[in-house]
Amino acid sequence: MQTFKYQQNLNESMATITINIQNEVSEKFREIVKKERGEGKGIIGKAVEEAIQNWIKEKEENEIAQRQLELLKKGFKTGKLKKFNREELYDRKY
């Protein structure tokens, strides 16, 4: 198991989260971050933060989609539709 501990203080309110993940996941994540962002102080933390933000966004979008699907299943009440025939619609009185 690999333990990440990330903390950053840039005049912002930041939290520290300690997680345990499988070594293979840690190594692969670090490898990808190194390829895409290089090496440096805080790079891993920024990548973890971005991954968490993307996960939160995905969950929120799925929640919105589920609510909308439920509304579609429930249906919409548009009132009683009045049936017209062509003559009534285009009957012009001058």
Domain locations along the chain: 2-90
Position 26 scores a pLDDT of: 92
Model confidence over 11-35: pLDDT tens digits? 567 788 888 999 999 999 999 999 9
What's the per-residue H, E or C state across the chain? CEEEEECCCCCCCCCCEEEEECHHHHHHHHHHHHHHHCCCCCHHHHHHHHHHHHHHHHHHHHHHHHHHHHHHHHCCCCCCCCCCCHHHHHCCCC
Residues of the chain with pLDDT under 70: 1-12, 92-94
Position 18 scores a pLDDT of: 87
Position 8 scores a pLDDT of: 56
